[in-house]
Structures are given as structure tokens and as C-alpha cells.
Structure 1
Amino acid sequence: MLEPQTLRYLSALKANNNKPWFDAHRTAYEAARIDFGNFIQLLIDALGKHDLSVAGLTSRDCLFRINRDIRFSNDKTPYKSNFGASIKRGGRKSPFAGYYFHLEPGGHSFVGGGLWLPDAPKLKTMRQEIDYNWAEFRGILTDKTFKKTFTDLYRGDDQRLSTMPKGYEKDNPAAEYLKLKSFIAETRIADEALTKASLHKKTLEAFVALKPLLDFINRGIE
């Protein structure tokens, strides 16, 4: 579970997203980040028993910085109003698919993972893997536990092509997945669930349900 004051801090930061306020409340920030880091470390330690590729990671390997990269953004607010952690082989900067936890009060928290916007060579490889191994890929997505947790991969218009990628026919049985630019699954977490003791168990169960998909993706990357 996460401490209520961690959620309160992030909500306050969203309403006061400027450096003077951040500096004045740095102690609260440090406490919130430690709380989130401790939660992520518990997840890593438990998940490592199911996925040896992440065993031995520390939360520091996986947590994202609170500072936003504003160099090419019209939004110049300096800080994120969320905490995020990417748990994967080699840590958050590695090229592999991994597990992700997103903490953002106000109904925006979620747990999930996968491969986000891979570069062109990896995207081409992923499409080939799905095409060549469609029965296996479909089996992963239709698995009872996966469907109960995530329903399907995210297929929003912002993460898929409007037409088939070059080299694939429109009637390909995997058509809707070959159009994807990212291969991710996620499930929302209600604010009230974030401070309950069951959060750790439910997050771990979601990650375990996601593992076959990550194994499929990472096999292609390798």
C-alpha cells in the first residue's frame, strides 16, 4: 500500500507546479518518493521470484525522475504530477519490454507494461513475430487471466496506423495488431485502492498475468 500523504503531495504538486513551491515542500517530496520507492522495491523483490530477468533490480534502477523534459514541449510546467516506475531487465533505460506502475491521483493511476514506441527496426521485428507466430500471440491475448486483468492490448488511434503497414495484406488475421505502433496493456487503479494493503498483491498478480506477453516481445527483440 501507499501512504495517503503521498497521494496528497502529488495532488498538491499538480495544483502548484512551479519551482518555488517545489523547493518549499522538498521534505514532503522526499518522503513521498521514498514511500513510492519502497513500494516498488517490494514489488521487484516479489516479482523476481516469477521473472528472474528483474531479480536483483533496485527501485532506483526503475524510478523515473520527477522533472519534465520541457525542451520541445509547449507545456513548460517543470514537474510531473505522477510517479512512474519501469521494471525491466537492465532497468528503466533498457530496450526491453517491461512492467510499469503509474501513480497519479485523480483516477489516472494504472498498472501495466509492454513495449512503448519501439524504433523502426524493433517495430518491424515485432510485426514479423506476430505474423509468424499469430496462434501463439493470440493465445496470450485470449488467456483467461490476461483478459480478466487487461482485456486486450491498448489500440487507441494515437498508437496505431490507419492502414496496414507495408508488406501485409488487409485480410491478415493479425491485422489490428500489425497496425500497432506500441504493444502495451494496462488496467486502471482507483484512488481508494492505492492506500489499501491489497495493492501489492493485486499489482503483482497483474504483472504475472502480463509476463507471457513480455516474454513474447522480448524473445523477438533478442
Structure 2
Amino acid sequence: MSAFDTLIPDAQDFCRRLAADNTAEFYKAHKEDYLSRLKRPAELLLDSLAPRIAEVTGGTVTTKLFRINRDLRFAKGQPPYKDYLHMLWYSPADGPAPMGWFFGIETDRVRVGAGYMGFDGPALTRWREVMAGPEGAGIAAGIETQLAAGAEMRDAALKRVPSPYPQDHPQAAFLKRKGMGLFRTMPAPAADLPGALLAEYAGLWPAFATLTRAMSR
């Protein structure tokens, strides 16, 4: 049996129980469950897939496992713990903005995604230059193909196209964005979780390959 074969059911079981009793008392009583059944296998998955994702993108990789503790300074009124397990590989990790490869286990679904979770400063300026330039139409077409195949993306951050671009620009819908990520719900694989994730990421990569190269210039 692979070290990852039980990660999804174990994580969903823990997250459902946590959602039903999201208290410090519950977490302290079951902390070893979280460490042994969720955190350690997730860290192993991050390390295991990093070199293989680097092969797909041709870039450097860094990893991130999101903490289970919620920062209550910025989430007032929320429960103290997150009832999901989320992680990211960043690759290429250099350049004006790192590209993220997302994997999330939630109480009732498993999610994968890829893209730029947010643009700031020079990266936002570069994103707009790329989408308004000659490569923008091809990048937009690749993203639209993914959306037509069932991918989803978050709503645009802006209501209007930012200056100096005209409101009727052909890529207006993308110029209003401050991030560009695609997400989809995937069936939980019975075996070979790393292989299933790599297949999902390989399918998403064509929508971002041109954008990634353009962002790094």
C-alpha cells in the first residue's frame, strides 16, 4: 500500500469531525491524529512531487502546507481551525510572481488547481502588459478551453478595465483580474495519488505555459 493511499479518506474523516467540533479541546485531544494522518503524509507528498512538477514546468519548486490554525486576528468570528487540508507547489518559483499548483482535501470534495493566486506591484503590471499584448489572445483561448472543459475561476477583482486600457479591449475580462487561477473538483483516486495529481497538472499546464514564459521576460 502506498503511503498516500489513505491520505484523502483520513483527511476527510478528520476534517468532518473537526467541522462538527471546531474547538481547541477537540484539536488538542486529536492533535496526534492530525500530525500522523494528515500533516506528515502531506509533507511527504509535497516533497515527492516537487521534482516531478519541476520537470513539467522547467522551473524551480518551493512548497507550502497551509497551517491548520486560523489566524484569528484576520478572521474574527471564525472557528479557530480550518476544516480542510490545502497545499501548494510553486513552480516556477522565481520571476515577478510564482505559479502555484494547488491540492486541497475538503470535507466533501477534492480540489486541484493551477495558476497565479495573486499579482502585486510589478507582477500585476506585467500581467496586464501580457494580456493586452500580442500573446494575450492565445493565452485567453487556452484558459477558455479549460473553462469549457469544466474548470472554474474566481470572479474578477475589478468592475472596470484599469487605465490605460480601453473598456472595450478584446481581453477586458482578463485585464480586470488581479490573479489567474483555474480550479476543478477531481474524483478521489483509489490508488496512485501522485500520478493522479500529475495527470491533472499536466492537463492544466498548456493553459499557463505561454503566460509563464511571458511573465518571466
Q: TM-score, normalised by structure 2?
A: 0.81
Equivalent residue of 2:56, what SS?
Answer: coil
1:131-178 CA distance string (max 9 Å, x none): 1122331343255xx457554x6152xx33222212111221111111
State the one-letter code of the partner of 1:42.
S
Superposed CA RMSD:
2.7
Which residue is 2:89 aligned to? 87
- Corresponding residue number in structure 2 for 1:122: 123
Is residue 2:5 matched to residue 1:10? Answer: no
Instruction: Tell me the amino acid that sits aligned with residue 185 of structure 1.
Output: L
Structure 2 equivalent of residue 52 of structure 1: 58
Partner of 2:98: 96
Q: CA offset at residue 63 of structure 1? A: 1.3
CA-to-aligned-CA distance 1:86-117 (integer Å, 9 cap, x gap): 101486xx94122111111223x310121123
Distance 1:49 1:72, change over 3 A: closer
The aligned counterpart of 2:168 is 171
Counterparts of 2:81 and 2:216, CA distance in 1: 32
Identity %: 22
Alignment-mate amino acid for residue 173 of structure 2 = E
Answering whether residue 70 of structure 2 is matched by residue 64 of structure 1, we say no
Match of 1:28 among 33, 41, 44: 33
* Counterpart residue number, 1:140: 142
Residue 44 of structure 1, CA deviation = 2.4
CA contact (8 A) 2:139 2:208 kept: no
- Tell me which of 202, 216, 220 is aligned to 2:215: 220
The residue type equivalent to 1:186 in the other structure is F
Q: Distance in 1 between matches of 2:201 and 2:128?
A: 23
Partner Cα separation in structure 2 for residue 102 and residue 53 of structure 1: 22
For 1:147-186, list aligned pairs within 5 A. Answer: 151=151, 154-156=153-155, 159-186=156-183
Give secondary structure in 1 for the equivalent of 2:167: coil
Number of positions where the alignment pairs a residue of Structure 1 with one of Structure 2: 207
The letter for the 1-side match of 2:166 is: E
Aligned-partner residue type, residue 75 of structure 1: G
Q: TM-score, normalised by structure 1?
A: 0.79
